[in-house]
Structure 1
Amino acid sequence: MTILDERPETAEVPPPRRVNPLWALLRNSWRQLTSMRTALVLLFLLAVAAIPGSYFPQTSVNREKVSQYYTAHPQLAPWVDRLGGFDVFASAWFAAIYLLLFTSLIGCVLPRLRDHARALRSVPPEAPKRLERLPQHAPARPGPQPPAEVANGLARTLRGKLFRTRVRELPGGRFSVAAEKGYLKETGNLLFHFALLAVLIGVGFGHWYGWHGNRILVAGEDQGFCNSITQYDDSALGPRVTAADLPKFCLRMTDFEATYQSTGQPKSFLANVEVKEGSGEYRKANFTVNDPLRLHHANVHLIGQGYALELRYTDRYGASQTKVVPFLPTDGMQTSEGVAQFPDVNIDPNTNQRDDRLQVGFEGVYLPTGGDDGSAVSKFPAENNPMLYLAAYRGNLGLDVGKAGSVYALNRGQISNGELKKISGDRPQALKPGQSWTLDDGTKLEFVGTRKYATLSIRYDPTQSLMLVGAVLGLIGLMLSLFGHRRRIWFVVSPANDQEAGGSVVEAGGLPRTDYPGFAAEFAALTGHAEEGKP
């Protein structure tokens, strides 16, 4: 048999439609970017990109540790800085991954949301013609009630079990009952992705409009501070925040309570402070490690504690200066190191001129509980036997050279070039609170005592609530997605062969739309109602 082409000979075949290659490239790129596979890859890349932020010290968190890294790795540190390793979360490459992930999620979720909304508005589909071909099938069984009553009873039963149902009348006096359930799985999936978008939005806007600063706050009214960018040890403002935008408050610590276990492990910390917001009066407050002090547009977190030494130096002209200098802990027993520098001493009262060669600095170790063996290691973090070991230096401290340096260590360059010389001999001087030390030129250093200090992290994140809500909704969506199962069940109710008896015949079939091991048991329970003719 020959199939003839019935088209007229004069008919022309239309030329193939030309596709703009640039448009095709953009369309295919968008499809690849908005696919779920790409979103998962970008999420994995974002997690990998965050690893350097936890390995290298970050400028926005602790500039001091970044300086220490430069000192310890002078050749590697500049390359790490060029690649953004010290400011990972503000680097261009991290922002690129972040924005691509954000775009991919939007392009992936919005079409699925539209399809899901359309599916929720639609009614369950009609029953297949061959129910026996479905994964679950219940053969036709007779029932004593008429088809219409059986169908309506089945619909009520299924609705009671939260199935969406639809009863249809078929030719020949038959009825079909279509039911479906499990749309919460897709709802949870979408909720999880929208929650993830909310977290990403919160991270972005929190970085733009948030700020944070770290400050060591020593106990005492003379050591309080007000919220100013110049009074922080290190700080970072968001790109949309200026120093004038910082909230107005002042803080001073009246006492710091610390308790320890017999092993030296911390048991509890409590900072007692007085705080004033705006033009108000000082009020008393306290906060702990897991319970920050919440102020208007700022939260004060307690992240550490230690001891500050009160030292008084009397120069050769009889003038005294007292300084309260924090010593930084080096271990869990509060063995602490620090320096006390006195650049403005030994000023001749006749000429009022300062001799830079007569500046004095002290470097040492403080032990809250010193041992009898003379070791420079504390035995316990509380002050049971306080001991201070100091070494004295005289000369130019190098504070006026214009280079940034640590306030917790002497300038090693000045020591190496001979501008700053050690005058205390080979063995450090041991002092207890209340004791004094007379140097070789008749000047005197007195160890007045100690004060406790707290290391504070003061932060403001305007999207903190959004991120919390996003995290909670994400967990809820994940649970719904994991425990929800999409499935459909159909019942076809036909009149019995004996029309005068008024009975019916019920056949059922079930189709799980997702992997659901418990569907067979659920189907058997539902078809048991049909077999018994129960409504």
Structure 2
Amino acid sequence: MRTALILLALLALGALPGALLPQRQLNAGKVSDYITQHGWWGQLLDKLQFYDVYSSVWFSAIYVLLFISLVGCLTPRMFEYAKQSRQQPVITPRNLARLPHHASSTVDVPVDDVVEAAGKRLRGWRMVVRDEEDGARTISAERGYLRETGNLLFHFALLGLIVAIAFGKLFGYSGQVAVIADGSQFCNSGLFAYDSFTPGLKVDGTELDPFCIKVNSFKATYLADGQANSFDTDVQYQSGDALSSDQWQHYNLQSNHPLRIAGDSVYLLGHGYAPQFTVTFPNGQTRTKAIQWNPSDLTTMLSSGTTTFDPPDTTDETELRKHQIAITGLFAPTAVFDGTLMSSIFPAPNDPAVAVQVYVGDLGNNSGYAHNLFTIDQSMVDQGRLVQKAMRNLKLGQEITLDDGTRIRFDKALEFTGLQVTHDPSEGYVLVFAILLLVGLMGSLSIKRRRLWLRVTPSGDGTVVEVGGLARTDQAGYGEEFTRLSAGLLTGKDT
């Protein structure tokens, strides 16, 4: 037990870095920034797996050792409890007056009648009646065996909880994806359908539970100060045999009201805006595109991002890289201007506008390196391969015309929803073990082990009745119970 307590303390201590430091599974970008800002210290923490605490070798070692320690604690206790449960209560001490609780009286009731009446009063106690050599008769009674039952239940539930959580980490997964609320669809077909995906140790992303979700609309309501009041997402979903047909079911997806489908849970994780732009090229062809921009201020939903376009009818890779377009900047759902500077004063799309910079050239998409979805590759700008051609504030319907005749129009502001899909095959077991853990804890704390002895001795003046009591654990509260019981037992009657 001492080892288990030490390991529990180490587990709590080991979890502290997971709460204080950015974790790669939650936000890899923040981890990279933290390492860059802290130099060699940040790199050392990375080597020690402090940015992947809950999947690190040292945290897993503490976890496994705690599991082994719990098994080592519970196994002998279980056999000892089984042995004690078959034993009879201990014999009555010779001198009951030395016990913490004692009372005696003399009655004119026969010995056998006193013992019989006491047996009725002690119904529910585990007791045994014994005869002594001097003609006296005794009763040994015990109560509160369920305290140890609750204690064992608590520890076995804790053990089961650890196993269930480990099972969930092996075979569960979670992923996040942003879906524009204009009828766009998301299908749980593989890890490449997600913006970010965290698989379990035994999950490779090839056998996910199949289902599809269509996000029709998103509606947010706000208080007068801009604080969010409610989020409602109108979605349609299909799974199983319905995937091969056009049968959809409606669901109103809200915060803390996930959609349960195909063994997975779909949560409404967040929302934002996706400004839609239409580019008209000099040859008259048009391209329309809307992609989510990242909210940089959750109070006013001022967002930043980048929308890119490739020129049409261009198969030459060299020419393609010379004429790619990037529209980058800020989006304000309720715009306010201070001269040429734009900001947002309210999160609802009351007066949307964008402050954009338009770049033309090579976006660096084929450089072989990962790129941030919301920004342009600054190295391409530094090399002169991506050149700024225009900068302007645009409201709905306004457009920019570049030197070559290309026109860029800000069409509208669509909303997107951030969805999180979670598959945890152990969540039902975790709930059961958590409930059992609480039940066991309540039992072990509320139930008290106590013993009571009764000696009935015949004498010339009548029958001497002695009662003694002892609390096996905490004595608090047993004095009142003993006083109440002894008051009835000393009368020698069952009324």
TM over 0.5: yes
In structure 2, what is the Cα distance between the partners aligned to 1:167 and 1:156?
13
Q: How much has 1:171 moved relative to structure 2?
A: 2.5
Q: How much has 1:519 moved relative to structure 2?
A: 1.5
Q: 2:112 aligns with which of 148, 165, 190?
A: 148
* SS of aligned partner of 2:234: strand
Amino acid at match of 1:337: S
- Aligned position for 2:131: 169
In structure 2, what is the Cα distance between the partners aligned to 1:439 and 1:62?
37
In structure 1, what is the Cα distance between the partners aligned to 2:304 and 2:122?
74
Amino acid at match of 2:149: T
Aligned-residue RMSD, C-alpha? 2.0
Does 1:446 pair with 2:409? Answer: yes
Distance 1:196 1:338, change over 3 A: same
Does 1:472 pair with 2:435? Answer: yes
Please give the per-residue CA displacement for 1:419-471, whole angstroms capped at 9, x wherever unaligned.
222222xxx52112222222233211111112211111101111111111111
Amino acid at match of 1:473: L
- Aligned position for 2:476: 517
What is the 5 A alignment of 1:105-254? 105-138=70-103, 140-159=104-123, 162-254=124-216
Please give the per-residue CA displacement for 1:453-499, whole angstroms capped at 9, x wherever unaligned.
1111101111111111111111111111222211111111111324x
Q: How much has 1:277 moved relative to structure 2?
A: 0.7
Distance 1:200 1:253, change over 3 A: same
Distance 1:244 1:224, change over 3 A: closer
- Aligned position for 2:18: 53
1:62, 1:234 within 8 Å by CA — same for their partners in 2? no
Q: How much has 1:347 moved relative to structure 2?
A: 5.4
The structure with more strand, counted as a fraction of residues: 2
1:346, 1:359 within 8 Å by CA — same for their partners in 2? no
Distance 1:77 1:423, change over 3 A: farther
Amino acid at match of 1:494: T
Distance 1:271 1:222, change over 3 A: closer
In structure 1, what is the Cα distance between the partners aligned to 2:70 and 2:218?
47
Does 1:534 pair with 2:493? Answer: yes
Q: How much has 1:68 moved relative to structure 2?
A: 4.4
Amino acid at match of 1:300: V
- Aligned position for 1:43: 8
Amino acid at match of 1:216: A
In structure 2, what is the Cα distance between the partners aligned to 1:312 and 1:340?
11
Q: How much has 1:415 moved relative to structure 2?
A: 2.3
In structure 1, what is the Cα distance between the partners aligned to 2:426 and 2:293?
35
Distance 1:466 1:352, change over 3 A: closer
Gaps of 5+ in 2: none
Amino acid at match of 2:307: A
In structure 1, what is the Cα distance between the partners aligned to 2:40 and 2:71?
42
Q: How much has 1:348 moved relative to structure 2?
A: 5.7
- Aligned position for 1:5: none
What is the 5 A alignment of 1:358-373? 358-373=323-338
Does 1:398 pair with 2:364? Answer: yes
Distance 1:51 1:121, change over 3 A: same
- Aligned position for 1:415: 381
Distance 1:69 1:277, change over 3 A: farther
Gaps of 5+ in 1: 1-35
1:317, 1:348 within 8 Å by CA — same for their partners in 2? no
In structure 2, what is the Cα distance between the partners aligned to 1:371 and 1:243?
45
What is the 5 A alignment of 1:91-102? 91-102=56-67
Distance 1:241 1:409, change over 3 A: same
In structure 2, what is the Cα distance between the partners aligned to 1:211 and 1:456?
14
- Aligned position for 1:31: none
What is the 5 A alignment of 1:10-25? none
Amino acid at match of 1:296: A
Higher mean C-alpha displacement, 110-119 vs 373-382: 373-382
2:113, 2:493 within 8 Å by CA — same for their partners in 1? no
Q: How much has 1:305 moved relative to structure 2?
A: 1.0
Does 1:328 pair with 2:299? Answer: no
In structure 2, what is the Cα distance between the partners aligned to 1:467 and 1:260?
36
Distance 1:218 1:432, change over 3 A: same
Amino acid at match of 2:385: E
Higher mean C-alpha displacement, 316-325 vs 209-218: 316-325
Distance 1:497 1:413, change over 3 A: farther
* SS of aligned partner of 2:490: helix
- Aligned position for 2:270: 304
Distance 1:320 1:401, change over 3 A: same
Higher mean C-alpha displacement, 300-309 vs 437-446: 437-446
In structure 2, what is the Cα distance between the partners aligned to 1:86 and 1:313?
42
2:185, 2:213 within 8 Å by CA — same for their partners in 1? no
In structure 1, what is the Cα distance between the partners aligned to 2:397 and 2:134?
108
In structure 1, what is the Cα distance between the partners aligned to 2:171 and 2:259?
20
1:63, 1:234 within 8 Å by CA — same for their partners in 2? no
1:213, 1:232 within 8 Å by CA — same for their partners in 2? yes
TM-score by length of 1: 0.86
In structure 2, what is the Cα distance between the partners aligned to 1:348 and 1:142?
113
* SS of aligned partner of 1:271: strand
- Aligned position for 2:396: 433
- Larger Rg, first or second structure (1 or 2): 1
Please give the per-residue CA displacement for 1:81-104, whole angstroms capped at 9, x wherever unaligned.
322223221111111000000000
Amino acid at match of 1:238: G
Amino acid at match of 1:410: I
In structure 1, what is the Cα distance between the partners aligned to 2:79 and 2:220?
57
Amino acid at match of 2:333: P
In structure 1, what is the Cα distance between the partners aligned to 2:326 and 2:27?
25
In structure 2, what is the Cα distance between the partners aligned to 1:378 and 1:42?
51
Q: How much has 1:77 moved relative to structure 2?
A: 4.3
Task: Report % sequence identity.
Answer: 38
1:317, 1:346 within 8 Å by CA — same for their partners in 2? no
In structure 2, what is the Cα distance between the partners aligned to 1:398 and 1:376?
29
2:301, 2:333 within 8 Å by CA — same for their partners in 1? yes
Q: How much has 1:346 moved relative to structure 2?
A: 6.4
Alignment length, in residue pairs?
A: 488
1:345, 1:354 within 8 Å by CA — same for their partners in 2? no
